[in-house]
Amino acid sequence: MPAFRRIPSSPHHVLIAGGGFAAAEAMLALRALAGDRVAIDVVSPEDRLYYRPAATLEPFCGTEPLTLDLRELASDVGATFRRDRLAAVASDAQRVRLDSFAHLRYDSLLLAVGTARRVRVAGAVTFADQRDVGRVRAVLDELARGEIRRIAFAIPGGVTWPLPIYELALLTAAFADEHGLPAEVSIVTPERRPLEVFGGAISARVRDALADRMVRFVGDVIPQAARRDGRLEVHFGDAIHADRVIAVPELIGRRVSGVPAGWGGFVPVDRDARVLGLRDVFAAGDMTTHPVKQGGLATQHADAAARAIAAGLGIEVAPQPDDNVLEVRLAGADPPLVLSAALDATGRSVSAAVHRGARVMPGEKVLGRYLSPYLRERARAATAA
C-alpha cells in the first residue's frame, strides 16, 4: 500500500464500529475519498475478518479458512485499531461507550456491527461460517460410509441469506456423483422459486443448475425441525424424508443502546446510510433494515456512508447510485455462474444477468469497490514473496 501523508492536527474524526466487510470497505473508501482530511479509528471485538462466503467450499476442498488481518488493514490505511466492542451511543454528545467502559468521541460514527444468528430448524446442523465446516464434513463422511442417503438443506423463515444452502446442496450432489454414492439431495425453502431475490430469469437458471446436479427443489415450505426418525417437519405440510438436515440460521439485529432499531433489531437508514433520527451517525451492512443481507451489498452501504462523510467535508464525490448491485459467484454450478441483480431500496430485483464462467477470481465471493482491489494486491504480493 502507498504511504499516506501525515494526518493534519485537526482532521475530521471518523469512528468505525465493527469488523466485517462493511467496516473493511469503509476504511479503504474513506481514505481513498477523503485522504488526510479524516482520522479513522476502528473498534472491533475481533481482529480478524473471517471470509465467511468462502466457508461453503471448505468442507469439500480442505482449504484453510480465508481471513483478513484487520490490524494490518488499519495500518495500511493509516487508521488506528482497538479490540473492543461497542456498547452504547450518545449521539447528542458524539460519544460512544465500549464494553471496556472506555469512552470515545467522534465527528462521524459508522456502525457496522453485523447481526447475531439464531437457530431456527431444531435438530439440524446449523451452518453459519467456518466454525461449522467440521460438522458438514462429518455429514459427508456419513454419506461416504453409506450410513445416510437423504440430505435436506433447509432455509428457515425469517431473515436469512440463502445462497450458502444452494452452494452446499450443489457441492454435496457433485461430491456424491464424483464418489459414486447413492444420494438424494434436496433444498427446502420458503422461497417460491430458487434464489428468488435475484428475480425470475435468474431463478430459472438456478433451477436448471439444480436439475443438472439432480438436486430436488421444495419451495413455499417453512422447515421447522429435524427428527431422529429421518423426517424434516415443516409448518403446515407433510414431513419430508431426510436422514440429515443442514440449515442456515436466522439473522437478527444486534441492538446497541442509543441506536434506534425496528422489528428484528435492524437499524433504519436513508439512501446515504444515515441512521434515521441520529446526527452524524451512519450504519452499513446486515445490521440495517435493507432486506437482503450479503457482504457485497454491505460494502456498497459503506461506500455510501463514506461518500456522504466526504461530501460533508466539501469534497466532490460521485453521486450515490439509485440501486445496489447484488453479485455473487454460485459455487457448485457447472459451468460456474456469476449472478447479478440490481436491487431497489426494498430489495426487489429491477434488472438481472447471468454470466457463465469465471467473471471473478475463484475464491472471490464478495465484491467491494475498494476492498476487492486491496485483496487482489495482497494476494499478488504474497505470491511474489
For 330-360, the pLDDT digits (tens) are 999 988 889 999 998 888 898 888 876 544 4
List the beta bridge partners of residue 161: none
- Give, in order, the Cα–Cα distances in Å from 336 to each of 9, 85, 339, 357: 51, 39, 10, 5
**pLDDT at residue number 282:** 98
Looking up cell 450432489 gives: 173
**pLDDT at residue number 361:** 47
**pLDDT at residue number 9:** 55
Low-confidence ranges of the chain (pLDDT < 50): 1-8, 358-362
| Cut 0.75: pTM above it | yes
Domains assigned to the chain = 12-114+254-321 (3.50.50.60), 119-250 (3.50.50.60)
**pLDDT at residue number 376:** 87
Residues 6+ apart with CB under 8 A from 156: 120, 121, 190, 222, 223, 247, 248, 249, 250
DSSP category for residue 80: E
DSSP category for residue 249: P
Dihedral angle at the C-alpha atoms of 84, 85, 90, 95, nearest 10 degrees? 20
Dihedral angle at the C-alpha atoms of 209, 127, 299, 54, nearest 10 degrees? -60
Residues 305, 80, 117, 99, CA torsion sign: negative
Residue 305 backbone dihedrals phi, psi, to 5 degrees: -65, -45
**pLDDT at residue number 362:** 44
**pLDDT at residue number 357:** 55
**pLDDT at residue number 61:** 86
